[in-house]
Amino acid sequence: MSDIKENVLNAIGNTPLVKLNKINVKNIEIYVKLEYYSPGMSIKDRIALGMIEDAERKGLIEPGDTIIGKTSGNTGIGLAIACAVKGYRFVAVMSAGNSAERQKILRALGAEVVLVPQQPGEEPGRISRKDNDAVEKKTQELTEKLNAYRPNQYINSMNWKVHQHTTGQEIIRQTSGRLDAFVAYIGTGGTFVGIARALKSFNNDIKCYPVEPGVAAFLAGKKVITTQHLIQGGGHAVKPPFWDESIVDGYIQVSEDEAIKTARALAKNEGILTGFSGGANVAAAAKLDDSLRPGSIVVTVLPDTGLKYLSTVLYE
Ligand code: PMP
């Protein structure tokens, strides 16, 4: 019995990298990292575990303590899994506008879910700045009230370090270092910053492009959600505190429509069922077709599974 994982946390990461064969590009090859292979079906399992273990190492928490997270779902699911295995109580605070699946998965994994109502008249799935602020306020309130530990992914350096040490290294190993560009949709920015740092320190010629639906607002540092788009998990148009312009070779803008069309094409043509942001990432990668030399390899991540969006318009 040499191939047994001690517990499910050991099954996080080491996800497959798959070549796309039917995507409409002439010059380039696109490889996608299927992060939905992780136990919580998203890329966020990696950082959830990383943040918990970092807090344990620093002596900030011990089993039995209460962990709290403000999350659009995926980080919460990762935290819920880590807490279930390690014996912590977990409270997830999220907007009621997030998909029903996310709430149900969290509860199934033993989390206590606190839903913050959306602003009056707002459409489910479109989380506004005000909604976001309301969730933040509630999380701060509860953190104090419950004397909970909050592994805040927006400022926690483990958010990008975990990607530098795991996801980035996996990409280098899986491609034998033969990649030309990397793109990633940004929410907290941890995925992009961590992987781009790993790639740039391996080979500074690898081009790295963040993907953002409202690039202009992002660059202007406006604290607004420009388009209240459906691409869950990001597009807040807020520069993360650990943002690093020196690893950015340019920004790629992708619309909600492009993200949806591409996600649907991935499912129908390649058998790959991902979410909105996975669609956004592949749409962004395809936009490099004209600017890279023939034979270039572009890598991106598919942050989560389409199964998390069955109640949304994505696969209607
Ligand atoms: N896509 C999805 C589905 C996500 O949940 C997240 C994380 N919020 C992202 C993309 C963006 O990743 P990051 O926070 O590392 O920028």
- Is the ipTM of this structure higher than 0.85? yes
Q: What is the structure's pLDDT at 227?
A: 45
How many Cα atoms sit within 13 Å of 47 on the Cβ side? 31
Q: Which of 29-38, 129-138, 239-248 has the lowest mean pLDDT?
A: 129-138
Identify the residue whose C-alpha is closest to ligand 1 atom 9: 233
Active site includes 44? Answer: yes
Identify the residue whose C-alpha is closest to ligand 1 atom 4: 233
287 ligand 1 Cβ < 6 A? no
C-beta of residue 236 within 8 angstroms of C-beta of residue 187: yes
CA of 233 to the centre of ligand 1 (A): 4
CA of 188 to the centre of ligand 1 (A): 7
Please list the residue range(s) of the chain that carry CATH number 3.40.50.1100.
Answer: 8-37+160-315, 44-145
pTM recorded for the entire structure: 0.94
187 ligand 1 Cβ < 6 A? yes
- DSSP helix/strand/coil, 231: coil
Cα dihedral sign for 129, 131, 132, 137? positive
**267 vs 256: CA distance, rounded Å:** 17
Identify the residue whose C-alpha is closest to ligand 1 atom 12: 187
| Active-site choice (33, 44, 70, 161) | 44
Cβ-based neighbours of 245, under 8 Å, separated by 6 or more: none
Q: Is the pLDDT of residue 87 over 70?
A: yes
**158 vs 49: CA distance, rounded Å:** 10
Q: Which of 42, 94, 185, 274 to mutate to test the pocket of ligand 1 (most atoms within 8 A of CB)?
A: 185
168 ligand 1 Cβ < 6 A? no
Nearest atom, ligand 1, residue 275 CA: 3
Structure tokens at 265: 């094409």
User: What are the phi and psi torsion angles at 77 (to 5°)?
Assistant: -65, -40
What strands, in cross-sheet order, belong to the sheet with 207-212?
17-19, 29-34, 297-302, 181-185, 207-212, 252-253
In the DSSP assignment, the letter for residue 296 is -
276 ligand 1 Cβ < 6 A? no
Is the CATH number of domain 8-37+160-315 3.40.50.1100?
A: yes
E strands, the chain, where?
Answer: 17-19, 29-34, 66-70, 89-95, 112-116, 181-185, 207-212, 252-253, 297-302
CATH code for the domain defined by 44-145: 3.40.50.1100
Q: What is the structure's pLDDT at 276?
A: 94
Cβ-based neighbours of 4, under 8 Å, separated by 6 or more: none
E strands, 21-146, where?
Answer: 29-34, 66-70, 89-95, 112-116
- If pLDDT is split at 50, 70 and 90, which confidence band does 131 have? confident
Tens digit of each residue's pLDDT (9 = 90 or more) over 160-187: 999 999 999 999 999 999 999 999 999 9
- Tokens 């942001």: give the residue: 277
**190 vs 12: CA distance, rounded Å:** 17
- DSSP helix/strand/coil, 209: strand
44 ligand 1 Cβ < 6 A? yes
